[in-house]
Amino acid sequence: MSHLKSSLSGPELQALSAAAQWYARLQSGEASDQDRQDWQAWQAADELHRQAWQRIEAVRQQMDRVPGSLVAPTLHGVQRSRRQVVRSVVLLASAGSLGWLGWRSETSQNLLADYRTAVGERREVRLADGSSLLLNTDTSVNVRFDGAQRVLELLWGEMLVSSALDPLKRPLRVSTRHAQVLALGTRFIVRSQAAGGEVAVLENAVQVSLAQGGPAVHLDAGQRLDFTSQALGAIRRNDATVGAWQQGSIIAIDRPLGELLADLSRYRPGVLRCDQQIARMKISGAFPVDDTDRALAALHSGFGLKIQHYSRYWVNVSGPAAV
């Protein structure tokens, strides 16, 4: 089935999804003054946020046609209804001048995927062939099995695949926008984001090739590589950082602070940034993803960094005077 190619980038899609969540929250009837202040801070934090909200405003009249029963009565109440509101808003906003044809956009594919996790959520999925998936935070995947093949379409995010032997001997592939991974009876992790991704093999082996075709690279257990749409990276050895999210941690080994915070931000809503002058500061340690405030507190106590909470959804990290 062909899909309409979205003109929005990965960050634009994320901003639009966040704007839709803000819309659902503000329209719930239970939004507090603090919620409205946080929403304003979210808009002020990034030009992409302001542009995303303008898209939402442009379709408010269309959203008025959404039945009131779809609006969650509380912020943490009927989550299914709130998700329906968010989906409806994003579908309309991503459609733009193309109208309802926009439901095939990349945004709608992510939100309407077969399996999804919210920000900060991890989820295990058992498949019909006996294989299993462990989805990391903010991940969406479609499952396409037929008589000839088994395809896992990783639209966004990260997952651990534990493949099962198939009586029909159908190959199991993970397809991303950048690359394809052929499982050779194995456990492996695939991550796909806007600019590229990574494959890390935990057991047995895989073959990795670019989505556009070309020669495949063989990876054995304990090996990994990065990829973009244009190239496969060099093969590297796995280390303690690989798959640490399964146990609820990010492990950093001399990692630039800016990269660490970008990774940590995948597990919490809102904006998490650091001052540019300390973005290259090297950090080592284990940081919990299920309690990101505790992770930030560890940066304060262990490295002397200042954590400024402008609101629940806007946090900036700055350094000591000596840095």
Structure tokens at 120: 């900060």
At residue 18, what are phi and psi to the nearest 5 degrees? -65, -40
Please give the residue that has the higher pLDDT: either 235 or 10.
235
Answer yes or no: are the C-beta atoms of 72 and 24 closer than 8 Å.
yes
- Residue where the block lists tokens 């809102």: 270
pLDDT at 206: 98
Q: How many distinct structural domains can be found in the chain?
A: 3
Q: Is the pLDDT of residue 243 over 70?
A: yes
Q: Is the pLDDT of residue 99 over 80?
A: no
pLDDT at 17: 79
Domain span at 96: 10-112
pLDDT band at 24 (very low <50, low <70, confident <90, very high): confident
Please tell me what DSSP assigns to residue 306: E
Regarding whether 134 and 106 lie in a shared domain, the answer is no
Segment 196-205 shows an average pLDDT of 97
18 class by beta-carbon count within 10 Å (0-12 exposed, 13-18 middle, 19+ buried): buried
User: Looking at the domain assignment, is residue 87 inside a domain?
Assistant: yes
101 class by beta-carbon count within 10 Å (0-12 exposed, 13-18 middle, 19+ buried): exposed
Instruction: Out of 112, 142, 163, pick the residue that ends a domain.
Output: 112
User: Looking at the domain assignment, is residue 323 inside a domain?
Assistant: no
Q: Is the pLDDT of residue 104 over 60?
A: no
Segment 270-287 shows an average pLDDT of 92
pTM of the prediction? 0.70
Report the distance separating Cα 92 and Cα 232, nearest Å: 36
User: Looking at the domain assignment, is residue 192 inside a domain?
Assistant: yes
Q: Which residues pair with 255 in a beta bridge?
A: 283
Q: Is 303 helix (H, G, I), strand (E, B) or coil?
A: helix
Report DSSP letters for 147-176, one per residue. SS-EEEEEEEEEEEEE----TT---EEEE-
Among 171-175, 191-195, 270-274, the minimum mean pLDDT is found in 270-274
User: Looking at the domain assignment, is residue 271 inside a domain?
Assistant: yes
Q: Which residues pair with 199 in a beta bridge?
A: 190, 225
pLDDT at 109: 65
Report the distance separating Cα 215 and Cα 249, nearest Å: 35
pLDDT in tens, 142-168: 999 999 999 999 999 999 999 999 989
The one-letter code for the residue type at 156 is W
User: Looking at the domain assignment, is residue 281 inside a domain?
Assistant: yes
Regarding whether 131 and 103 lie in a shared domain, the answer is no
Q: Is the pLDDT of residue 66 over 60?
A: no
Answer yes or no: are the C-beta atoms of 107 and 94 closer than 8 Å.
yes
User: Looking at the domain assignment, is residue 252 inside a domain?
Assistant: yes
Supply the CATH number for residue 296's domain.
3.55.50.30
Segment 16-31 shows an average pLDDT of 78
Structure tokens at 164: 């099962």
Regarding whether 207 and 152 lie in a shared domain, the answer is yes
pLDDT in tens, 122-146: 999 999 999 999 999 989 999 999 9
Distances (CA, A) of 160 to 59, 183, 235: 37, 12, 19
Regarding whether 194 and 275 lie in a shared domain, the answer is no
Q: Is the pLDDT of residue 101 over 70?
A: no
Segment 59-79 shows an average pLDDT of 41
Q: Report the chain's mean pLDDT, rounded to a whole number.
A: 82
Distances (CA, A) of 36 to 43, 153, 288, 313: 11, 37, 29, 11
